[in-house]
Amino acid sequence: MSLKTRAILVLVVGTAMGLSLSFGGRLLSGEQRSVQVPTSPDQARLLAEVIQRVKSDYVEPIDDSVLMENALRGMLSELDPHSQYLDADEYRDIRISTTGSYTGIGIEVSEVDGKVRVITPIAGSPAARSGIRAGDQIIAVDGNVVEAKRLQDTISGMRGRRGSKITITVLRDDEAIDYEMRRELIRVASVHHENLQPNYGYIRLSQFTDSTAQELSRAVDDLQKTQGGMLNGLVLDLRNNPGGVLDAAIDISDLFLDTGVIVSAEGRTAESRFVRAAHRGDVLDGAAMVILVNKGSASAAEIVAGALQDHNRATVVGTPTFGKGLVQTVVPLSMGRAIKLTTSRYFTPSGDSIHEIGITPDVLVDDTDGFPDLSLSSGIDRERDAQLIEAIGRLQGRQVMHSSAQ
């Protein structure tokens, strides 16, 4: 073994031992937890050999810090498409995005079968206004080819200075399409609501943020106020909703349920195993509900649809959902960094896992091209949106007797 390789080997083993000691005292979810880092000579030697070869032979000089960060990113990204290492800027962005405000184009993406796919453009965003659709494959950002294994780089590349131009190239039906737009400060109100006459309401949730449950409760109050009393029915539109904060999905489900399990989860740690149940009180007082879903409905949106479907609280109309049944926990690290780690698999009240399966609607109705209109430029269209037409018809065909009128 050369002197240089031996020095790297000592460094690697020392680093691993140091990590084992420092992680042992790390604060994770309020508890100290010991983490054992494997430090067998063979593993350390292999890592040292790779580092030495990259540093000596790679076509361009590589800084040690870059090598280490790439190693961390690779470690997390190879676990599943949703786990990732977050540097300080990325961690800041993810904290901001849960509040519903960040600078970018307003698009949710994921790695699907080795491709970067659009889960959904966020309603009202530059991506939505440009015409990007759920299911599109992103193949380039500003002419740079994207790689599914470098998903976070793609996400970072779509963010940037407010007002700056960006070109997204997508592949749709074997045709490459360029969409040019400008980045904006995305302040997306996660709740949009309208009246459906007579005595029916429509609420669309575009994502799940810390404030979504409160916004939805206010929307129901506003609809009831403008209608002059309790609603006879509500359409809850979760189409192209990529999900978001888990607690928001639980709180929203709780708004419409009096009792029963909302969601349960199983993982390896005590914090990742939980059951969340509803509390008494239904903001609609038992009025009929229809939930609209499609392939762009994912994660937290599927929790809500699954809970209300399993408890026979709502009829689910549309097409099968995306199928993301995993829970990610964001764990802060030193120096403003973090990891987003898949820690649980969640289950609907019936005990089913929907991961890579999705929620199957009670009533299958294919999407109408162009709906829902995510540009929010002209409100809902009750004449051409086949899924919405079905939802309204089912509401109007069911009589409701509110408890206050009994």
The whole-angstrom separation of Cα 373 and Cα 80 is 32
- In contact, 207 and 240? CB cutoff 8 Å: no
Cα(238)–Cα(207) distance, rounded to whole angstroms?
A: 8
Cα angle, residue 265 at apex, residues 264 and 269 outer, rounded to 5°: 140
| Cα–Cα distance measured from residue 320 to residue 332, given in angstroms and rounded to the nearest whole number | 35
Instruction: Kindly name the residue from 136, 310, 367, 385 that is annotated as catalytic.
Output: 310
User: What would the two tokens of residue 147 be?
Assistant: 């790689």
Q: Which two tokens stand for residue 5?
A: 């390789």
Active site residue 310: yes
Instruction: State how far the Cα of 125 lies from the Cα of 164, in Å rounded to an integer.
Output: 15
How far lies 98's CA from each of 123, 209, 245, in Å? 16, 5, 7
Q: Are 55 and 62 in contact (CB under 8 A)?
A: yes
Catalytic annotation present for 83: no
β-bridge partners, 182 = 165
Compute the residue count for the chain.
406
Q: What is the CA radius of gyration of the chain?
A: 24
Q: Round to whole Å and give the CA distance between 188 and 306.
A: 25
Q: Considering the candidates 130, 297, 299, 344, report the single residue annotated as catalytic.
A: 299
Tokens read off for 263: 């969601």
Tell me the three state secondary structure of residue 356: coil
Tally helices (H) and strands (E) across the chain: 10, 21
Question: Half-sphere exposure of 57 toward its Cβ, with a 13 Å CA cutoff?
Answer: 6
Catalytic center residues: 299, 310, 324
